[in-house]
Structure 1
Amino acid sequence: MTTTIRPASADELQLIQAIERASAQRFLGVMDALANDEPSPLEVLAARQREGGLLVAEADDDRRPTLAGFVMFRRLEQSLYIEQIDVLPVFERQRIGATLIDAVARHASGMGLARLTLSTFREIPWNAPYYRRLGFADLDDKALPPGLAAVRREHLARGLDESARVFMARNL
C-alpha cells in the first residue's frame, strides 16, 4: 500500500467528516460523549481547505485510492496548531497519522515557523502518549502563550474538561 499526502479538495469535506465520525468510535466506553460528538462543521473544514490547512492521506493498495485520514491545522503565533487529526480505523497502525504530522511539520518549516502545537487528552493511549513518541512535549498549563490560552478558553466554552487535556509542542 502506498500513501499520498495532499491538500484536501472542496468536494472531500463530507468524506473528511465521515473519517472523523469513524475515528471517534474508538472513544466508545472511554468517553462516550466524545464518541457521539458531531464532527468538525463543514464551514470550518471549508475555511481550512481554502487556507491550505487541510491535508488528506490517500491510501492506494492496488485497488482504487481511498481517503484514509486527514489533518486540519492553522497558524497560531509562531506555530502551526493541529486542530484535528483522524485516521480511519481500518488504516490504524500504519503510520498514517505520523506521516500527516510530518507533512504539517514540513509545511511549518517552509513558512519559517518554529514548532507544531496541539491539545489532546493526557491519559488516552492514542493521544498524549502517542504524540510524545512523535517528539511532542507537554507545555506548562500555567504558562501558555496567548494563542494557546485562547484555544483553552474556546475548549471551556464548548464544555471540554480541560483538566483532562494537555497542550503539547514539537520543535522543528
Structure 2
Amino acid sequence: MITIRPARGDDAEALPQIEQSAGEAFRAIPELAWLADGDNVSVERHRALIAAGACWIAADDQDRPVGLLSAGIEGDALHIWELDVHLDRQGRGIGRALLQQAIDGARRRGLAAITLTTFRDVAWNAPFYQRCGFRILKPSELDERLARLLHDEAAHGLPTDQRCAMRIDLG
C-alpha cells in the first residue's frame, strides 16, 4: 500500500536515491542514457523545497519514501522541479497520485497554474503530463521564468529540440 503525504525534513536523505533509480529509465533511450549518470538534486536542496511546503512523498507501508514530487511556488504558479518514482515501483499510478496531490495542493493555495519543463517525446514525460491535463506551451506563450529555465537547461547540456515547458491552468 502506498500513502501520499507531505514530505518531511527527515525524508530528504532518501530522495536523491529515488531520483537516481528513476533516472535509470533513461538508459533505454540511447541519446539520453547519459542522464542516468547525471547529478541528482542535493539533500540540502530537497530540505529547502520541503521547508517551503510544496513537496509530497509516496511512502510504502513502512513509511519509506518510494516516490517524490518536489515543487516550489513561483508567482501565481506551482512549479514542479522533480517527479520521480523508484524504478521498481513505476507503472503503478504512483506518479499520477503524486501529481494529483500537487494539483489539489495548488488549488487549495489559490494558485492559477502548475508549470514544469520536461522532455517532449519521452513517454513518461510530456505525453504523461498531457494525459493528466497539461499542455505544451508554444514559444510565444513562455513567460520570462520558463524561457530562462529552458535556456539554463540547454546550458547544462539538455537538447533544446527535445525540451518543452508545460502548464495546466487551475482556474
For the criterion TM > 0.5, the same-fold answer is yes
Q: CA deviation at 1:148?
A: 1.0
The answer to whether the 8 Å contact 1:77/1:147 transfers is: no
Query: Is the CA contact 1:79–1:116 (under 8 Å) kept in the aligned structure 2?
Result: yes
What's the offset of the Cα at 1:152?
Answer: 1.7
- Partners of 1:35 and 1:141 lie apart in 2 by 28
Partners of 2:79 and 2:19 lie apart in 1 by 18
Q: Structure 1 residue 103: deviation in Å? A: 0.8
How many angstroms apart in 2 are the aligned matches of 1:91 and 1:114? Answer: 31
Note the alpha carbon deviations across 1:88-117, whole angstroms, 9 max, x for none. 122112111111111111111111111111
Deviations 1:42-88 (A, max 9, x none): 2211110111122111122xxx3332200010112321011110001
**Corresponding residue for 1:11?**
10
Which consecutive aligned stretches of 4+ in structure 1 deviate over 3 angstroms post-superposition? none
Unaligned regions of 5+ residues in structure 1, if any?
none
Contact 1:7 1:55 in 2 (8 A): yes
CA gap of 1:111–1:65, structure 2 versus 1, over 3 A, is closer
- What is residue 48 of structure 1 aligned with on the other side? 49
The equivalent of 1:94 in structure 2 is 92
Alignment equivalent of 2:164, drawn from 155, 159, 166: 166
Aligned residues: 168
Aligned sequence identity (%): 31
Query: What's the counterpart of residue 85 of structure 1?
Result: 83
Distance 1:79 1:71 in 2: 15
TM-score by length of 1: 0.91
Which runs of 5 or more residues in structure 2 are unaligned? none
1:155 aligns with 2:156: no
Aligned-pair CA distance for 1:156: 2.5
Encode CA deviations 1:131-165: one digit per residue, 9 max, x unaligned.
Answer: 11111111012330122122123213322222211
* Alpha-carbon distance in structure 2 between the residues aligned to 1:71 and 1:136: 16
Letter in structure 2 aligned against 1:58: A
Instruction: Report 1:35-74 matches (<5 A).
Output: 35-60=36-61, 64-74=62-72
Q: Counterparts of 1:8 and 1:76 in 2: how far apart (Å)?
A: 19
CA distance in 2, matches of 1:157, 1:47: 24
